[in-house]
Structure 1
Amino acid sequence: MSPLKKICCFLLMLNGQLTFGQNPNSKVSIELSIPHSGEIPWLNTYSDKNNAYVIIRNNSDSTHYFYEDRYIYGYYNISFEIKYKDSIYPVTRAPKLWWRNHPSYHIVKPKESLVFPHMVIDTSFANALRGDGIFENGWIGFPVTSKWDTAEIRVIYQLCDPEEMIAEDGIRLLNYKRDEYVNYLDGDIESEIFYTEKEKPKQKAAEPIKPTPKLPRPKPIIIFNEPLVSEWQKVIL
């Protein structure tokens, strides 16, 4: 995804999340689960690495595909809305520097579920936790609240860039300086053999080129692209 697409994606999620709702006819649903020991769960605390779980349930008769969220293709597809004092605040993942991209995806068969664990804390909390080995960028858009105020939250799934609904294989490296990323190729490096003139093997006579058989074109993987919205849930911020 180009830098321009990334910016457009971020602005789309920031400004366009209030215009749609849960499709009652959809057989794919989304819900937000926040484990807690009291009557109302807490958010935006230091207590757990993953304090919220986004669950997508496939109750249809078809197999669906969802991008993994460790690359940019799926990183921004899940966001939240917080309702606080008659206002709704879009809460999105903060932009980050991407070293490489890979359009990897989850396969969710009929009657299966997909779970995305998240640490839903704002960027200031995320930066404070760097010393504990937690390198999340956090989320932006949290409302400024009084201490321990109650609010409501819901989760939204929306494919960030509609042009990327067809998953293509391959890893894409971004054009940053060498010292800004580490490139692990995992066996993609081919060693090249060098010969002197005396050691150079004699070339064989060229053989006629056989026509390459045409293989059937694989069916494209279509990433699930219908917006999903969960029910509102009370939380303490």
Structure 2
Amino acid sequence: MKPIKQLLHFVYHQAMSCIFPVAIFGTLALSGIVEVPFMYRYDAILLILLGVQVLMYLSGLETRDEIKVICVFHVIGLLLELYKVRMGSWSYPEPGFTKLLGVPLYSGFMYASVASFMCQVWRRLRMDMTGWPGLPAAGLLGGAIYLNFFAHHFIPDFRWWLTALVLIVFWRTWIIYRVLTVTYRMPLTLAFLIVGFFIWLAENIATFFNAWKYPDQHLEWKLVSVSKISSWFLLVIISVIIVAQLKHVKAGRKTAR
């Protein structure tokens, strides 16, 4: 019975950590089937997601610090969206009043949902890390990964070199998480890959319901290229670096007190 109890505890907290991502993709799916009255779909999605965030904060499901992290990721994601749409990587074909240079403002929440999951699961499973490479190495690598998302349109794509660097920089880093009274651990790079794979699955759902379209999906929907998993793998690394560093800073402040 104990393994079953642990599994149920783990699944429950994973599910609770996914409330905001589920809200996003549920809204995308429902609004793709049911016509939203009196407003454009993209505008309705933004209002719904803002409402979800307010409710999560007021109910205590998210803390003030977690809201701050989500806002940071919203800005980071929106900047990337603005650039990628301009370069023709994908598009948002539907009209909306809350679109900036062809990008609906709700799109930043899709990146913020990754941060929301990270923050939630970190707190709920009392996570920690061993072998963290430190801010200089992790920060420089995260910055290089983010820059590559922009620069590969003009210079060679260094994602595979960066992936190799990730394996080198984080080869000693393990995630420690706790399920009830039992402590488990997992290589951080494996966690990157797992989360990246599930985001790729969610991306297929989102494009199926016309949240956005890749160039090869305009005539008919097609499965998103498996190569996108590597992109999400690298994006998750940026998320973990920022969240982990903020957690370390916060822990340091508590210790200082």
- Larger relative contact order, structure 1 or 2 (CA cutoff 8 Å, min sep 6): 1
Q: Identify the structure with the greater strand proportion.
A: 1
Query: Which TM bucket (shorter chain)?
Result: under 0.3
Q: Identify the structure with the greater helix proportion.
A: 2
Q: Higher Cα Rg: structure 1 or 2?
A: 1
Q: TM-score, normalised by structure 2?
A: 0.20
Q: TM-score, normalised by structure 1?
A: 0.22
